[in-house]
Amino acid sequence: MIYITLGTSPYPFPRLLQEVDIILEKIRSKEKVIAQIGCTQYTFKYKNVKTYSEIPFDQNIRYVQKARLVICHAGCGTIMQCIFVSKKIPFVVAREKKYREHIDDHQKYFARYMKKNNSIETEDLIKYIRFPKDTQKTGASHQEIVRNLKKFIASFP
């Protein structure tokens, strides 16, 4: 199962959903997809998908744990949840100001930092859908991720 989560931001994020939709159709996937899409209005062409605007926290955790792979926005809480409750590295797409997906580009900066520290994946979604990574293969420990996150936060004035 593929789990997509866009969080609860009041800004729509159809760009991520459209990219996943196109890839799943292209590779002729039959895999089940569960998508928590928040306020985003999007109709998938891919048929094996269930969408929800909101998912209760405990159910969200179960989906993250159960999923073969997680695709998400670059929200700090979402990324940390994926890393700590699962051994999988999430594929992350940052919301961007230029697309009116958020008020600024903080997600882009956070995603860049987490990618540099091997905590997330941000490149080649089609390859990631076929061959997701897990934290055991990267060697990134939870303690190391927390240390890196603290450094990132401390870098701001």
User: What's the fold here for domain 2-154?
Assistant: Rossmann fold (3.40.50)
Q: Where are the domains of the chain?
A: 2-154
Task: Kindly report, residue by residue over 49-71, the tens digit of the pLDDT.
Answer: 999 999 999 999 999 999 999 99
| Cβ-proximal residues to 92 (8 Å cutoff; 6+ apart), any chain | 71, 72, 73, 74, 79, 111, 114, 115, 120, 121, 122
Q: 118 near 138, Cβ under 8 Å?
A: yes
Q: If we measure between CA atoms, which residue out of 69, 155, 62 comes closest to residue 117? A: 155
Burial bucket for residue 82 (CB in 10 Å: 0-12, 13-18, 19+) = buried
pLDDT-based confidence at 151, cuts 50/70/90?
Answer: confident
Q: What percent of the chain has pLDDT over 90?
A: 59
- Residue 142 pLDDT grade (very low, low, confident, very high; cuts 50, 70, 90): low
pTM for the model: 0.85
Q: 4 phi and psi, to 5 degrees?
A: -110, 130
pLDDT tens digits for range 103-137: 999 899 989 988 887 788 888 888 888 888 765 54
